[in-house]
Structure 1
Amino acid sequence: MFPEDIEQTAAAIVAAASRRGWTVATAESCTGGLVAGALTAIAGSSAVVDRGFVTYSNAAKAEMLGVPTETIEAHGAVSEPVARAMAAGARVTADVDLAVSITGIAGPGGGSAEKPVGLVHFGCAGPDGVVHEVHRFGDIGRERVRLESVRVALGLLLAACEAE
Protein backbone atom coordinates (compact mmCIF):
# COMPACT_ATOMS: atom_id res chain seq x y z
CA MET A 1 0.00 0.00 0.00
CA PHE A 2 2.80 2.43 0.93
CA PRO A 3 6.13 2.90 -0.86
CA GLU A 4 8.76 0.41 0.24
CA ASP A 5 10.90 2.97 2.11
CA ILE A 6 7.91 4.04 4.21
CA GLU A 7 7.05 0.43 5.03
CA GLN A 8 10.67 -0.26 6.00
CA THR A 9 10.83 2.75 8.29
CA ALA A 10 7.48 1.88 9.87
CA ALA A 11 8.70 -1.68 10.47
CA ALA A 12 11.89 -0.36 12.07
CA ILE A 13 9.81 1.84 14.39
CA VAL A 14 7.57 -1.05 15.42
CA ALA A 15 10.63 -3.22 16.12
CA ALA A 16 12.53 -0.51 18.03
CA ALA A 17 9.53 0.60 20.08
CA SER A 18 8.69 -3.03 20.85
CA ARG A 19 12.22 -3.63 22.13
CA ARG A 20 11.90 -0.64 24.43
CA GLY A 21 8.36 -1.46 25.50
CA TRP A 22 7.20 1.92 24.16
CA THR A 23 3.83 2.95 22.80
CA VAL A 24 3.16 5.54 20.12
CA ALA A 25 0.39 7.93 19.10
CA THR A 26 0.03 10.21 16.09
CA ALA A 27 -1.56 13.65 15.81
CA GLU A 28 -2.14 14.41 12.16
CA SER A 29 -3.65 17.25 10.23
CA CYS A 30 -2.60 17.47 6.56
CA THR A 31 -1.67 13.77 6.43
CA GLY A 32 -5.13 12.72 7.58
CA GLY A 33 -4.02 9.54 9.37
CA LEU A 34 -1.43 8.31 6.87
CA VAL A 35 1.30 8.01 9.52
CA ALA A 36 -0.95 5.87 11.70
CA GLY A 37 -1.89 3.91 8.59
CA ALA A 38 1.75 3.26 7.73
CA LEU A 39 2.49 2.06 11.25
CA THR A 40 -0.56 -0.17 11.49
CA ALA A 41 0.26 -1.74 8.12
CA ILE A 42 3.07 -3.54 9.95
CA ALA A 43 2.38 -6.90 11.57
CA GLY A 44 2.88 -6.61 15.32
CA SER A 45 2.08 -2.91 15.41
CA SER A 46 -0.73 -3.50 17.90
CA ALA A 47 1.92 -3.85 20.62
CA VAL A 48 3.19 -0.35 19.83
CA VAL A 49 0.49 1.84 18.27
CA ASP A 50 -2.03 3.11 20.79
CA ARG A 51 -4.05 5.54 18.66
CA GLY A 52 -4.04 8.16 15.99
CA PHE A 53 -5.71 11.55 16.19
CA VAL A 54 -6.82 13.12 12.93
CA THR A 55 -7.21 16.75 13.92
CA TYR A 56 -7.88 18.50 10.66
CA SER A 57 -9.80 21.43 12.10
CA ASN A 58 -8.61 23.95 14.67
CA ALA A 59 -11.48 22.87 16.92
CA ALA A 60 -10.27 19.26 16.79
CA LYS A 61 -6.73 20.33 17.70
CA ALA A 62 -8.10 22.16 20.73
CA GLU A 63 -10.71 19.61 21.80
CA MET A 64 -8.80 16.37 21.20
CA LEU A 65 -5.23 17.43 21.91
CA GLY A 66 -5.65 20.39 24.24
CA VAL A 67 -3.91 22.86 21.93
CA PRO A 68 -4.76 26.26 23.41
CA THR A 69 -7.01 28.24 21.09
CA GLU A 70 -4.88 31.28 21.95
CA THR A 71 -1.85 29.51 20.45
CA ILE A 72 -3.74 28.72 17.25
CA GLU A 73 -5.06 32.28 17.01
CA ALA A 74 -1.65 33.85 17.67
CA HIS A 75 0.45 31.66 15.38
CA GLY A 76 -1.96 29.87 13.04
CA ALA A 77 -2.54 26.13 12.82
CA VAL A 78 0.54 25.67 10.64
CA SER A 79 3.24 26.79 13.06
CA GLU A 80 5.94 25.54 15.38
CA PRO A 81 3.98 26.26 18.60
CA VAL A 82 0.95 24.33 17.33
CA ALA A 83 3.03 21.37 16.11
CA ARG A 84 4.76 21.20 19.50
CA ALA A 85 1.45 21.47 21.37
CA MET A 86 -0.15 18.80 19.18
CA ALA A 87 2.67 16.33 19.89
CA ALA A 88 2.72 17.06 23.61
CA GLY A 89 -1.07 16.90 23.80
CA ALA A 90 -1.22 13.57 21.99
CA ARG A 91 1.42 12.10 24.29
CA VAL A 92 -0.43 13.21 27.42
CA THR A 93 -3.94 12.39 26.17
CA ALA A 94 -3.00 8.91 24.94
CA ASP A 95 -0.56 8.31 27.83
CA VAL A 96 2.11 7.00 25.45
CA ASP A 97 5.89 7.17 25.34
CA LEU A 98 6.10 8.89 21.95
CA ALA A 99 3.81 11.05 19.86
CA VAL A 100 4.40 12.69 16.52
CA SER A 101 2.46 15.60 15.03
CA ILE A 102 2.08 16.99 11.54
CA THR A 103 0.42 20.27 10.56
CA GLY A 104 0.89 21.82 7.15
CA ILE A 105 -0.43 23.05 3.86
CA ALA A 106 -0.60 20.22 1.32
CA GLY A 107 -2.27 22.29 -1.39
CA PRO A 108 -3.13 22.94 -4.04
CA GLY A 109 -4.82 25.91 -2.33
CA GLY A 110 -4.61 27.35 1.14
CA GLY A 111 -1.14 28.81 0.93
CA SER A 112 -0.04 32.41 1.32
CA ALA A 113 3.19 34.38 0.92
CA GLU A 114 3.96 33.81 4.61
CA LYS A 115 2.84 30.19 4.66
CA PRO A 116 3.12 28.70 1.17
CA VAL A 117 1.86 25.38 -0.09
CA GLY A 118 4.30 22.70 0.99
CA LEU A 119 5.07 24.23 4.40
CA VAL A 120 4.79 21.53 7.08
CA HIS A 121 5.63 21.65 10.79
CA PHE A 122 6.38 18.49 12.78
CA GLY A 123 6.62 17.78 16.48
CA CYS A 124 7.80 14.68 18.28
CA ALA A 125 7.16 14.36 22.01
CA GLY A 126 9.06 11.80 24.02
CA PRO A 127 10.70 11.27 27.38
CA ASP A 128 13.24 14.02 26.68
CA GLY A 129 10.72 16.68 25.63
CA VAL A 130 9.43 17.89 22.28
CA VAL A 131 11.53 18.36 19.16
CA HIS A 132 10.37 20.37 16.16
CA GLU A 133 11.21 20.32 12.48
CA VAL A 134 9.90 22.44 9.66
CA HIS A 135 10.06 21.47 6.00
CA ARG A 136 9.31 23.52 2.94
CA PHE A 137 8.59 20.93 0.28
CA GLY A 138 7.32 23.49 -2.20
CA ASP A 139 4.32 23.18 -4.46
CA ILE A 140 5.12 19.58 -5.47
CA GLY A 141 1.51 18.39 -5.47
CA ARG A 142 -0.80 17.37 -2.66
CA GLU A 143 0.04 13.66 -2.73
CA ARG A 144 3.80 14.26 -2.70
CA VAL A 145 3.59 16.79 0.15
CA ARG A 146 1.62 14.28 2.18
CA LEU A 147 3.95 11.34 1.42
CA GLU A 148 7.07 13.41 2.17
CA SER A 149 5.41 14.45 5.44
CA VAL A 150 4.84 10.80 6.34
CA ARG A 151 8.53 10.12 5.69
CA VAL A 152 9.62 12.97 7.96
CA ALA A 153 7.21 12.00 10.75
CA LEU A 154 8.33 8.38 10.65
CA GLY A 155 11.95 9.52 10.66
CA LEU A 156 11.33 11.54 13.81
CA LEU A 157 9.71 8.56 15.52
CA LEU A 158 12.53 6.24 14.50
CA ALA A 159 15.19 8.67 15.73
CA ALA A 160 13.40 8.95 19.07
CA CYS A 161 13.13 5.17 19.37
CA GLU A 162 16.82 4.73 18.63
CA ALA A 163 18.08 7.55 20.89
CA GLU A 164 19.89 6.50 24.01
Structure 2
Amino acid sequence: MREPEEGWEAQARSVLERCREARVRLALAEACSGGLIAARLTAVPGASAVLERAFVPYSNESKEDLLGVPGPLMREHGAVSAEVVQAMAEGLLARTPVELVLAETGIAGPGGGSPLKPVGLVFLACARRGGAVKVERHVFPGNRAEVRHAIATRGLALLLEGFAEKS
Protein backbone atom coordinates (compact mmCIF):
# COMPACT_ATOMS: atom_id res chain seq x y z
CA MET A 1 0.00 0.00 0.00
CA ARG A 2 1.43 3.37 -0.99
CA GLU A 3 0.23 6.66 0.44
CA PRO A 4 -0.72 9.48 -1.92
CA GLU A 5 2.27 11.78 -2.17
CA GLU A 6 0.14 14.87 -1.78
CA GLY A 7 -1.02 13.78 1.69
CA TRP A 8 2.38 13.41 3.30
CA GLU A 9 3.83 16.37 1.40
CA ALA A 10 1.06 18.64 2.69
CA GLN A 11 1.57 17.30 6.20
CA ALA A 12 5.35 17.83 6.06
CA ARG A 13 4.88 21.30 4.58
CA SER A 14 2.49 22.19 7.44
CA VAL A 15 5.02 21.11 10.07
CA LEU A 16 7.77 23.14 8.43
CA GLU A 17 5.60 26.23 7.95
CA ARG A 18 4.38 26.22 11.56
CA CYS A 19 7.91 25.80 12.87
CA ARG A 20 9.37 28.42 10.52
CA GLU A 21 6.73 31.01 11.48
CA ALA A 22 7.54 30.57 15.17
CA ARG A 23 11.31 30.19 14.63
CA VAL A 24 11.19 26.71 16.13
CA ARG A 25 13.92 24.24 15.18
CA LEU A 26 13.35 20.51 15.14
CA ALA A 27 15.33 17.33 15.88
CA LEU A 28 14.28 13.71 15.31
CA ALA A 29 15.28 10.27 16.60
CA GLU A 30 13.80 7.57 14.36
CA ALA A 31 14.64 4.09 15.59
CA CYS A 32 11.99 2.14 13.66
CA SER A 33 11.13 4.24 10.61
CA GLY A 34 14.78 4.52 9.61
CA GLY A 35 14.65 8.22 8.84
CA LEU A 36 11.37 8.29 6.93
CA ILE A 37 10.08 11.31 8.85
CA ALA A 38 13.27 13.23 8.06
CA ALA A 39 12.98 12.12 4.44
CA ARG A 40 9.45 13.49 4.23
CA LEU A 41 10.49 16.80 5.74
CA THR A 42 13.59 17.18 3.57
CA ALA A 43 11.54 16.48 0.44
CA VAL A 44 10.09 19.96 0.98
CA PRO A 45 12.33 22.82 -0.19
CA GLY A 46 13.54 24.98 2.69
CA ALA A 47 13.47 22.21 5.30
CA SER A 48 16.99 23.13 6.41
CA ALA A 49 15.63 26.27 8.06
CA VAL A 50 13.74 24.05 10.52
CA LEU A 51 15.21 20.55 10.66
CA GLU A 52 18.40 20.90 12.68
CA ARG A 53 19.32 17.20 12.81
CA ALA A 54 17.92 13.69 12.69
CA PHE A 55 19.30 10.47 14.14
CA VAL A 56 18.52 6.85 13.32
CA PRO A 57 19.47 5.14 16.60
CA TYR A 58 18.65 1.64 15.37
CA SER A 59 20.68 -0.31 17.94
CA ASN A 60 20.46 -0.13 21.72
CA GLU A 61 24.08 1.03 21.77
CA SER A 62 23.29 3.98 19.52
CA LYS A 63 20.34 4.97 21.71
CA GLU A 64 22.75 5.02 24.63
CA ASP A 65 25.66 6.72 22.79
CA LEU A 66 23.74 9.33 20.79
CA LEU A 67 20.83 10.09 23.11
CA GLY A 68 22.00 9.06 26.56
CA VAL A 69 19.28 6.45 27.08
CA PRO A 70 20.45 4.47 30.12
CA GLY A 71 21.34 0.86 29.38
CA PRO A 72 19.61 -0.36 32.57
CA LEU A 73 16.39 1.35 31.44
CA MET A 74 16.48 -0.52 28.13
CA ARG A 75 17.26 -3.81 29.87
CA GLU A 76 14.39 -3.33 32.32
CA HIS A 77 11.69 -2.13 29.89
CA GLY A 78 13.02 -3.12 26.47
CA ALA A 79 14.04 -0.79 23.65
CA VAL A 80 10.41 -0.67 22.50
CA SER A 81 8.73 0.94 25.50
CA ALA A 82 7.20 4.18 26.72
CA GLU A 83 10.08 4.66 29.14
CA VAL A 84 12.73 4.37 26.45
CA VAL A 85 11.00 6.64 23.93
CA GLN A 86 10.57 9.27 26.65
CA ALA A 87 14.28 9.02 27.46
CA MET A 88 15.05 9.33 23.74
CA ALA A 89 13.05 12.57 23.53
CA GLU A 90 14.63 13.94 26.69
CA GLY A 91 18.07 13.02 25.37
CA LEU A 92 17.38 14.83 22.10
CA LEU A 93 16.41 17.98 23.97
CA ALA A 94 19.48 17.74 26.21
CA ARG A 95 21.90 17.21 23.31
CA THR A 96 20.55 19.52 20.62
CA PRO A 97 19.93 23.28 20.33
CA VAL A 98 16.30 22.87 19.26
CA GLU A 99 12.89 23.71 20.65
CA LEU A 100 10.85 20.72 19.41
CA VAL A 101 11.74 17.01 19.24
CA LEU A 102 10.15 13.79 18.10
CA ALA A 103 11.39 10.30 18.95
CA GLU A 104 10.02 6.91 17.97
CA THR A 105 10.82 3.27 18.60
CA GLY A 106 8.95 0.18 17.53
CA ILE A 107 8.75 -3.18 15.81
CA ALA A 108 8.12 -2.86 12.07
CA GLY A 109 8.27 -6.60 11.38
CA PRO A 110 7.91 -9.00 9.86
CA GLY A 111 9.74 -10.65 12.78
CA GLY A 112 10.70 -9.48 16.23
CA GLY A 113 7.24 -9.39 17.76
CA SER A 114 5.92 -11.26 20.79
CA PRO A 115 2.52 -11.61 22.48
CA LEU A 116 3.36 -8.66 24.77
CA LYS A 117 5.06 -6.61 22.06
CA PRO A 118 3.52 -7.49 18.69
CA VAL A 119 4.73 -6.46 15.27
CA GLY A 120 3.41 -2.96 14.63
CA LEU A 121 3.89 -1.82 18.25
CA VAL A 122 5.29 1.71 18.21
CA PHE A 123 5.92 4.35 20.84
CA LEU A 124 6.24 8.00 19.84
CA ALA A 125 7.28 10.92 22.03
CA CYS A 126 7.07 14.62 21.28
CA ALA A 127 8.39 17.40 23.49
CA ARG A 128 8.86 21.14 23.44
CA ARG A 129 11.75 22.66 25.38
CA GLY A 130 10.40 23.57 28.80
CA GLY A 131 7.31 21.41 28.37
CA ALA A 132 6.19 17.90 29.19
CA VAL A 133 6.99 14.89 27.03
CA LYS A 134 3.89 13.47 25.34
CA VAL A 135 4.15 9.71 24.78
CA GLU A 136 1.82 7.67 22.58
CA ARG A 137 1.49 3.91 22.11
CA HIS A 138 0.16 2.48 18.85
CA VAL A 139 -0.15 -0.91 17.23
CA PHE A 140 -0.15 -0.19 13.50
CA PRO A 141 -1.46 -2.89 11.16
CA GLY A 142 0.19 -3.98 7.96
CA ASN A 143 3.51 -5.10 6.58
CA ARG A 144 6.87 -3.50 7.34
CA ALA A 145 6.46 -0.71 4.79
CA GLU A 146 2.93 0.09 5.97
CA VAL A 147 4.02 0.24 9.61
CA ARG A 148 6.89 2.58 8.74
CA HIS A 149 4.56 4.84 6.73
CA ALA A 150 2.07 4.87 9.62
CA ILE A 151 4.86 5.90 12.00
CA ALA A 152 5.87 8.78 9.73
CA THR A 153 2.29 9.96 9.26
CA ARG A 154 1.48 9.84 12.97
CA GLY A 155 4.85 11.36 13.85
CA LEU A 156 4.24 14.40 11.65
CA ALA A 157 0.74 14.77 13.11
CA LEU A 158 2.15 14.55 16.62
CA LEU A 159 4.65 17.30 15.80
CA LEU A 160 1.77 19.54 14.73
CA GLU A 161 -0.13 18.71 17.92
CA GLY A 162 2.97 19.27 20.06
CA PHE A 163 3.55 22.56 18.37
CA ALA A 164 -0.02 23.67 19.02
CA GLU A 165 0.12 22.76 22.72
CA LYS A 166 2.83 25.29 23.52
CA SER A 167 2.15 28.04 20.98
What TM-score does the superposition give when structure 1 sets the normalisation length? 0.95
Q: Is the 8 A contact 2:30 2:56 kept in 1?
A: yes
Separation in 2, partners of 1:110, 1:2: 29
Which residue, out of 14, 17, 20, partners 1:15? 17
Where in structure 2 are the equivalents of 1:36-75 lying within 5 Å?
36-75=38-77
Root-mean-square deviation (CA, aligned residues, Å) is 1.3
Which residue, out of 126, 130, 134, partners 1:131? 134
Further displaced range: 49-58 or 84-93? 84-93
Number of corresponding residues: 163
Further displaced range: 87-96 or 25-34? 87-96
The amino acid of 2:44's aligned partner reads I
Separation in 2, partners of 1:10, 1:2: 13
Q: CA deviation at 1:162?
A: 2.5
Q: CA deviation at 1:2?
A: 7.2
Question: Alpha-carbon deviations, 1:53-103, whole Å to 9, x = none?
Answer: 100000000000000111100000000000111111112211210110110
Q: CA deviation at 1:120?
A: 0.3
Q: CA deviation at 1:41?
A: 1.0
Q: Does 1:104 align with 2:98?
A: no
Report the identity percentage: 43
Runs ≥4 in structure 1, deviation > 6 angstroms?
A: none
Q: Partner of 2:91 in structure 1?
A: 89
Q: Is the 8 A contact 1:53 1:90 kept in 2?
A: no
Secondary structure of 2:105's counterpart equals strand
Secondary structure of 1:149's counterpart equals helix
Which residue, out of 114, 117, 121, partners 1:115? 117
Q: Partner of 2:164 in structure 1?
A: 162
- Structure 2: tracts of 5 or more residues without a match: none
Q: Is the 8 A contact 2:128 2:163 kept in 1?
A: no
Secondary structure of 1:36's counterpart equals helix
Separation in 1, partners of 2:121, 2:44: 28
What TM-score does the superposition give when structure 2 sets the normalisation length? 0.94
